[in-house]
Chain A
Amino acid sequence: MIRRLLLLAACALLLLAAPRAGAMQIERVVSPGGIVAWLVQDRTLPLMSLQFRFRGGTVGEGVGGQGAARLAVDMLDEGAGDLDATAFARALQEHSISLSVGASADSIQGSLRVLDAHRARGAELLRLALVAPRFDADALERVRTRTLAGLQRQQEDPRSILREAFGRLAWGEHPYGQGAEAEIASVRGATVEAMRGFLARRMARDNLVVGAVGNIDAAALGALLDQVFGGLPARAAAYGVPEARPAIDAERVVVIRRPAPQALVLSGAPGMKRDDPDWFAAQLVNYVLGGGGFNSRLMTEMREKRGLTYGVSTSYQALDRGALVLASFSTDNARAGEAVDLLRAQWRRMGEEGPGEQELEDAKAYMTGAFALSLDSSSAVAGLLVTLQNEGLGMDYLSRRDSLIRGVTIEDARRVARRMHGGPGFLTVVVGEPAGVRGEGG
């Protein structure tokens, strides 16, 4: 694609494509071969976006196998069927097809966006990637080298060091806590046989979730689903990943000394999974504390009043087998002690007092109003359809969402604030050369 326009770093323009969120018409499509997808028909443009997810990700492979699993998925679009890597890339480029696949801890995910004129070609390329990846030796060697270079870069990058250290402390021996070193060993040792084994275990029709948006009707989508996914095994292998309870049960500060112009800080506590009945109350509380952009308590205290940081935010990391609630920012090394203390004080204050009534109302107004802004493209809507199915939220979720949010009472919010921010556990990891931070070495 020609880059006529600036590479725009930043500043979320979260615009408009949302088909009217409340009125969005979702159809459940079952293909002749029995594959289910949720569909939103949108005739305004001659194109289609497909998003899919296979439940169960790299953590099922254990600490020794996650790197190989990720590499396996990265190889899917590096040559398939009769097409070597270059021919595959050229076929995508020449027909303006966006196709991507990737593995995460909990899933394998992918997407296809294609103009109507090239839809058949796009579907065929996706089918080949899923059922006939080649694993050519030269392509594998190239992707392995690139992956290892990226992992080695991570080992020197303060932000990656921070995330990894926090993950190791929070998740312990669980594969969620795996770092770059184990990943490197796994990538180095990955054999084609092992990688094909992972794909065969984890990409099947019974753990597949699909969302589609665009200029396609149910019959055409059904045929396309069978074409693309029909050749996959009927069943995925058993997925025995244990629950992970974060090992954060006391206040703890860990400092990892690294030469850096800023101290990077990540703090957190055990969080909440997506299926928790208090999910929306937690999201509202989070908005007030640090999720609300410029208007959160933490932004007001740390940035607006004191100039301690360019940005501080809090968010939930809700994984399938465990969850955290996290806060992160970076600050001048010289003022790191003040900033870490301030974060802890605000976190604790939220645990003790919860949000104020006006703060809660503001959070509700934002969360209900801004939802439609984030559905800014056909891909974003297709992604939402996958999420709704994956989380079991139901087809009527969009019509229920506003009332679920509005129904959170101040008592609910205070109770959940106490649960999330008032417990004994609060882990802080700092990477850099922070002054005034007392903590253990990392």
Chain B
Amino acid sequence: MTARILLVLLSLLALQAVPGTGRAQVFEPTTFFLDNGMQVVVVENRRAPIVTHMVWYRAGAADEPPGKSGIAHFLEHLMFKATRSMAAGEFSRTVARNGGRDNAFTSWDYTAYHQSVARDRLGLVMRMEADRMANLVLTDEVVATERDVILEERRQVVENVPGARLREQMAAALFLNHPYGRPIIGWEHEIRGLTRADAEAWYRRWYAPNNAVLVVAGDVSPDEVRRLAEQHYGPIPRREVPERARPAEPSPQAARRVTLRDARVRQPSLVRTYLAPSARRGESQHVSALEVLADIASGQAGRFHRALVLERKLATSVSVSYNPDAFDLSTFSFSVAARPGVAIEDVERALDEEIAAMLREGVAEEEVERTKARVRDSTVLSRDSLGTAPRAIGADLMTGATIEEIESWPQRIGAVTAAQVAAAARAVLQEERGVTGFLLPRPRT
């Protein structure tokens, strides 16, 4: 994910649900549609006199035409320029003058714009957001300058970070046919070729109310949001928007290996990434079990940390991750940093042995139960940070989930058995589904 400006914070978002008895709900949102097809979701939360306003578009880097990588993110930057009624930069300046904050971000599956403001400024940000949904005005000059900004962004967050360069190469190796193999920010040579015409074509193709979801969370009622949304977004006419149809992945046939050497690397490390199902693609029946598996495998008390760091003393850190929120296929990953003096081949062999042992022995019912308890706790804890709800709902809706599916997540996790976890691991952790990336030192000459 890449954003208009970098405030490098990795935030692990967890879900929230209503504690207590009966069938747990997650966010208890209210949802409805405007006449022009724009979906609206409201999460009422009266803890503070503030609202967060987000507009999500079902258009991301994976929807870009070949040769135009980076155009989704480029347009995200350009959305802060002029409209028919506002000058370039006036959007953010107005938000700040009203004591608010704003930003935007782009992923493979969506582009989102958001502001946090005092509750009485909701109409103001809605008016401006609706304005730029329909009235953006680009010039060659702002496009040229912003292209330079994005090239600097790419140098800063990719070229200058060996691990980021490796991840880019690994994604390209993992996805043989699907555009998830292209970086969100775009390949440098293609960014250089992006034009005002490309940006305008992208904007016309995807930026329509019927391709957007409005999410408002905070100190506001669904009725107030409906009234304001009808006033500001309602007049924008519905337009024909194409189906999101990306090329599908072929069945993987061969394990792949990618090695990146950089003089500034001191501690060799490896990342193993497997192609995995998401809720919409691949063997979707394994999704909840894979979420449980990732939780069992990770953490300081998890089995891979215990084996590779504590017992065998081959690594200084291990992390395991799985993210089912993708419109198309997803990934399941292990990252391991070698202990100084340990050969990376030995680390890889040990990782393979531990994966094999897990596939052979499965996981204990008790491990699964502990994960379920943590999930129940996390649904309460995540309410403590109120930004979670609009982000989670937006990302889920953009990747194909329904509100009902979002709300029933705790039940799905609660139904997972140890046998299902073992079956999911066997389905995904197969050699030919994986790419192994090595980040190694290169002695300076």
Question: What is the CB-to-nearest-CB distance from A13 to chain B, in angstroms, rounded to a whole number?
Answer: 4
Cβ of A368 under 8 Å from chain B = yes
Residue A207 at the chain B interface, CB threshold 8 Å: no
Contacts of B105 in A (CB 8 A): 8, 10-11
Say whether A45 faces chain B, with CB atoms less than 8 Å apart.
yes
A10 touches B8 (CB 8 A): yes
A89 and B300 within 8 A (CB): yes
Contact A9 B8 (CB under 8 A): yes
Comparing A26-34, A169-177, A271-279, A305-313, the segment that makes contact with chain B is A305-313
Interface residue stretch chosen among B123-131, B193-201, B387-395: B387-395
Find the A residue at minimum CB distance from B10.
A7
CB contacts (< 8 Å) of A94 on chain B: these are 301, 370, 373-374
CB distance from A314 to the nearest CB of B (A): 15
Let me know if B310 and A142 touch, CB within 8 A.
Answer: yes
- Contact call A16/B51, Cβ cutoff below 8 A: yes
- Determine whether the beta carbon of B385 is less than 8 Å from that of A5: no
Q: Are B8 and A13 in contact (CB under 8 A)?
A: no
Residues of B within 8 A of A9 (CB): 1-3, 6, 8-10
Whether A146 contacts B5 by the Cβ 8 Å rule is no
Q: Which A290-341 residues have a C-beta within 8 angstroms of B?
A: 292-295, 300, 303-311, 330-332
Interface size on A, residues (CB 8 A): 82
Q: Given A2-B294, A13-B391, A262 and B8 touching (CB < 8 A)?
A: no
Complex Cα distance, B94 from A294, in Å, reads: 11
Contacts of A12 in B (CB 8 A): 7, 9, 101, 103
Inter-chain contact B385/A10, CB cutoff 8 Å: no
Contact with A along B262-284 (1 / 0, CB 8 A): 01111100000000000000000
**Which chain A residue shows the least CB distance to B375?**
A2
In contact, B266 and A156 (Cβ under 8 angstroms): yes
Contact pick for A310, options B149, B265, B392, CB 8 Å: B149
A300 surroundings in chain B (CB, below 8 A)? 89
State whether A370 touches B101 (Cβ < 8 A).
Answer: yes
Q: Would you call B211 an interface residue if the criterion is a C-beta within 8 Å of the partner chain's C-beta atoms?
A: no
Contact between chains at A4 and B48 (CB < 8 Å): no
Interface digits, B94-137 against A, CB 8 Å rule (1 contact, 0 not)?
00111111011101000000101010000000000000000000
> Would A93 and B160 count as touching, CB distance under 8 A?
no
Contact residue among B49, B325, B386 (Cβ-Cβ distance under 8 Å from A4)? B325
Residues from 40 to 89 in A contacting B, C-beta threshold 8 Å: 44-47, 49, 85-86, 89
Residue-wise, chain A 375-401 has the 8 Å CB interface mask toward B (1 for contact) of 111110000000000000000000000
Stretch at the interface among A147-155, A218-226, A234-242: A147-155
Q: Is the Cβ of B96 less than 8 Å from the Cβ of A6?
A: no
Query: Which of B169-177, B315-323, B352-360, B427-435 participates in binding chain A?
Result: B315-323
Contacts of A47 in B (CB 8 A): 380-381, 384
B residues in contact with A259, CB < 8 Å? 263
Most chain B CB inside 10 Å of its own CB: which residue of A8, A115, A138 = A8
Within the complex, which residue of A89, A95, A294, A308 is in contact with B152, where a contact is CB–CB below 8 Å?
A308
Residues of B within 8 A of A156 (CB): 263-266
Q: Which residue of A lies closest to B158 (CB)?
A: A261
Q: How far is the CB of A295 from chain B (nearest CB, A)?
A: 5
Are A146's CB and B12's CB within 8 A?
Answer: no
A20 with B49: CB separation less than 8 A: yes
Q: From B90, which residue of chain A is reached at the shortest CB distance?
A: A295
By secondary structure, the B interface counts as mixed
A366 CB, min distance to chain B CBs, angstroms = 5
Q: Which chain B residues lie closer than 8 Å to A6 at the CB level?
A: 1, 13, 107, 323, 325, 395
- Among B103, B309, B373, max chain A CB count under 10 A is at B103
Q: Is B68 an interface residue (CB 8 A)?
A: no
| B152–A11 CB distance below 8 A | no
Which of chain B's residues has its CB closest to A90's CB?
B301
Chain A residues whose CB sits within 8 angstroms of the CB of B264 once the complex forms: 156-158
Q: Which of B93, B159, B391 contacts A262 (CB 8 A)?
A: B159
A342 part of interface (Cβ distance < 8 Å): no
B286 to chain A, nearest CB (A): 15
**Given known contacts A2-B413, A14-B387, A46 and B19 CB-to-CB distance under 8 angstroms:** yes
Q: Is the CB of B159 within 8 A of A365?
A: no
CA distance A369 to B115 in the complex (A): 13
In Å, the complex CA distance between A157 and B263 comes to: 10
**Is B218 in contact with chain A by the CB < 8 A criterion?**
yes
CB–CB B15/A4 < 8 A: yes
Give the residue of A1, A20, A304 whose beta carbon is less than 8 angstroms from that of B88: A304
B370 adjacent to A149 (CB under 8 Å): no
A248 at the interface (CB under 8 A from B): no
Known: A9-B3, A262-B159. A372 touches B12 (CB 8 A): no
Q: Within 8 Å CB of A17, what residues of B?
A: 47-48, 384-386
B291 interface contact, C-beta 8 A:
yes
A293 with B92: in contact, given A15-B386, A94-B370, A155-B266 (CB under 8 Å)? yes
A194 within 8 Å of B (CB atoms): no
A292 CB contacts on chain B under 8 angstroms: 96
Of chain A, the residue at the smallest CB distance from B20 is A46
CA distance in complex: A92, B370 (Å): 12
- Since A156-B263, A293-B92 are in contact, a sample of 15 more A-B pairs with Cβ atoms closer than 8 Å, ordered by chain A residue number, is A1-B374, A8-B10, A10-B8, A11-B103, A17-B48, A45-B384, A96-B378, A96-B381, A115-B380, A153-B266, A262-B159, A262-B160, A306-B145, A310-B150, A373-B101
Listed from nearest, the 8 A-B pairs whose CB atoms lie closest are: A369-B99, A307-B148, A15-B387, A96-B377, A89-B300, A11-B3, A90-B301, A310-B153
B residues apposed to A, CB below 8 Å = 1-15, 19, 45, 47-52, 80, 88-89, 92-93, 96-101, 103-105, 107, 114, 116, 118, 144-153, 155-157, 159-160, 217-219, 263-267, 291-292, 294-295, 299-301, 306, 309-310, 313, 316-317, 321-325, 337, 339-340, 370-371, 373-375, 377-378, 380-381, 383-387, 390-392, 395, 409, 413
- Provide a sorted-by-A list of 12 A–B residue pairs whose CB atoms are within 8 angstroms: A5-B14, A7-B11, A11-B114, A13-B114, A86-B300, A155-B266, A307-B147, A310-B150, A310-B152, A311-B5, A311-B156, A372-B48
